Amino acid sequence: MVSAQCPQSRRAKEVRRYGLIYAGLTPFIVIAVFPVYWMAVTALKQESDLYRMDVIPFWFYLPPTLKHFKYLFEHTWYAAWIVNTMSVSALVAVLTLLTAIPAGYALARLRLPGAENLGIAIFMTYLVPPIILFLPLSRVVSELGLQDRWWALVLIYPTFTIPFCTWLLMGFFKTVPMEIEEAARVDGCGQLGALVRVVLPVSLPGMLTAVIFSFTLSMQDFLYALAFVSISDQKPVPVGVATELIRGDVFFWGSLMAGALLVGIPVAILYNFFLDRFITGITGAAVK
């Protein structure tokens, strides 16, 4: 009798345990998913359904439509905005990685005088409010002839991605055991060879974290893009959607939500694939 009841009791405890876990997670899931759900409903609603005041706005009362998505590609520069956004973000991520890796490695491994304080000072530059940098950066952009071109953003965004990623990678390189590099040098590798063949492969989570940070920050920025790019076909998505689909007091809500979804959802899905490595990079976990 006792042996028959034990599995049932254990199973009941497991069900209760998981029930409490999911009950605790449910409010957070609802809060996180609800804005995306409302954006999707708004993007698929017809105009007459979108502005009805006598119904609950969280569902369809007329058949869904793709009209707002078609409007984006047929009557705006949305396709060009996507290309501009992805180009800027990818180039900034590459430039950040190419700069932050040698800088972070030098601060972590070469035993430079005051390296720790220098790393902190580099990180502190990331905390400078962007609004303060407008005047000097506008002069640089003007002198280089990049005003109203998305290449200006490729020049500007590394000013706040490189400091943070240098500090991040410096901390990550410190967690990589020195014995690994010493073993590589015994096998004939120099300083650069040990970095490329040994340190970088085991530092992939930190590098991936730097790429995700610089890519998403460049993709989501609004302030600099609004200030330095005003030509329609040169704008990134955040500025293009906000400036071209809001005209005075007229908001094209369906197209606004459609434009946000088309860029946000794929990036969120892609980010989810690398979530584990991103967390590893943020926490600075090293290879054991």
What mean pLDDT value characterizes the chain? 82
Give the single-character DSSP code of 145. T
Return the number of other C-beta atoms located less than 10 Å from residue 93's C-beta.
24
Q: Would you list the domain boundaries of the chain?
A: 2-65, 69-283
As a whole number of angstroms, the distance between CA 172 and CA 180 comes to: 14
Residues 262/189, Cβ–Cβ less than 8 Å: no
pLDDT, tens only, 122-146: 777 777 777 788 788 888 888 888 8
User: The whole model's pTM is what?
Assistant: 0.80
pLDDT, tens only, 263-283: 888 777 777 777 666 666 555
Return the number of other C-beta atoms located less than 10 Å from residue 48's C-beta.
9
pLDDT, tens only, 144-192: 888 888 999 999 999 888 888 888 888 888 877 777 777 777 767 777 7
69-283 placed in CATH 2.40.110.10 = no
